[in-house]
Amino acid sequence: DWCGPCRRQDPVLNELAQDLAGRARIVKVNVDDEPGLAARFSVRSIPSLLVFRDGELVQRHTGVQSRPTLLASLATDAPRTAA
């Protein structure tokens, strides 16, 4: 609730969740409520957007991202860049 950039990212994520229903799952996690999960994935800045494919972390974005950037990351042929 206190994170301004997260609030700006929220409408894009809500849109994508609707548009990609059945093809991708958009999940939001409050790092204040889930510090262990944030630590597990080395979240140091928010918003952090992690893209998983078949259970494997394949991309990571930090900061507010545009719809086209996120769509490209979610494409099945998007390169795997997560470290």
Question: Is 79 noted as a catalytic residue in this protein?
Answer: no
Catalytic: which of 2, 4, 6, 41?
A: 6
Q: Report how far apart, in Å, the C-alpha atoms of 60 and of each of 2, 4, 10, 68 are.
A: 22, 20, 17, 15
Catalytic: which of 3, 57, 58, 78?
A: 3
- Burial of 49 per CB tally in 10 Å (0-12, 13-18, 19+): buried
Q: How many CB atoms lie within 10 A of CB 73?
A: 19
Question: Is 83 noted as a catalytic residue in this protein?
Answer: no
Q: How far apart are CA 51 and CA 46, in angstroms?
A: 15
- Residues recognised as catalytic: 3, 6
